[in-house]
Amino acid sequence: QQPVQSPQAVILREGEDAVINCSSSKALYSVHWYRQKHGEAPVFLMILLKGGEQKGHDKISASFNEKKQQSSLYLTASQLSYSGTYFCGGAGDSNYQLIWGAGTKLIIKP
Amino acid sequence: ETGVTQTPRHLVMGMTNKKSLKCEQHLGHNAMYWYKQSAKKPLELMFVYSLEERVENNSVPSRFSPECPNSSHLFLHLHTLQPEDSALYLCASSQDVWQGLHFGPGTRLTVT
């Protein structure tokens, strides 16, 4: 069963903040986050390997709540370059098989 | 060349054709993957190879046949495809399962 991402889409003005959530009904052992721009391949953002872990670089960070089986991606002071579709992927029983969310489309307007 | 490369970038084939997709990774990674990305669907894992051995095969129809001759190259052989197989086929690699995937640019496949 795939993780549920919310919201499905969000439109922001440049400089605003966004939070994208990824919830799973199955136990996850790690969570990946990727961004895909239109016509391009997904690009790896970060991986969270254990509950309670938080990571970030630049103004993009993420957290993983293992008890709630939920991960959140935080985009602070969004830039035009942040536009794209964000996917979370969760690793459950199989380390190699990520179960992917349907994606959250983020549009940043000037 | 750097990263993960895929050829061809676009492919149109008839249902009776045979073609192959090629992927090459220049990152020294140990695992390589084939993913299918269709419109309005989550990414679907098709095959995984780790150190040239197939470790995952997600009930993919036999008209798709992978080949991994060495840790840097991955092929997807296609034959007698169906129109519903039209999609973006992405190759990816990773150092190990605890690190992120590096995707290639994909092959846009159209089956007519």
CB contact, 8 Å: B78 with chain A? no
Q: Are B59 and A98 in contact (CB under 8 A)?
A: no
Say whether B106 and A47 touch across the interface (CB within 8 A): no
- Contact in structure between B30 and B53 (CB atoms under 8 Å): no
**Which range (A52-56, A68-72, B44-48, B50-54) has the least confidence?**
A52-56
Whether chain A has a CB inside 8 Å of the CB on B45: the answer is yes
Q: DSSP E strands: which ranges in A37-79? A: 43-48, 54-57, 60-65, 70-75
Alpha-carbon distance of B55 to B31, in angstroms, equals 10
How confident is the model over B92-109, as pLDDT tens digits? Answer: 999 987 788 999 999 999
In chain A, pLDDT over 70 holds for what percent of residues?
94
Taking only the tens place, the pLDDT of each residue in A59-108 is 899 999 888 889 999 999 999 999 999 999 998 766 678 889 999 999 99
Which residue from B minimizes the CA distance to A86?
B42
The residue of B10, B50, B101, B107 whose CB has the most chain A CBs within 10 angstroms, and thus the best one to mutate to test that interface, is: B101
Token pair, residue B33, equals: 């993957």
B105 touches chain A (CB under 8 A): yes
* pLDDT, position A51: 67
Q: Which two tokens stand for residue A14?
A: 């440049």
User: What's the CA dihedral at A99, A79, A55, B27 to 10 degrees?
Assistant: 70
Query: How close, in Å, is residue B17 to chain A by CA atoms?
Result: 26
Residues 6+ apart with CB under 8 A from A5: A20, A21, A22, A86, A87, A88, A101, A102, A103, A104
Give the three-class secondary structure for B6. Answer: strand
Helix (H) or strand (E) holding B64: strand B64-70
What's the pLDDT at A98?
86
When pLDDT is cut at 50, 70 and 90, the band that residue B37 belongs to is very high
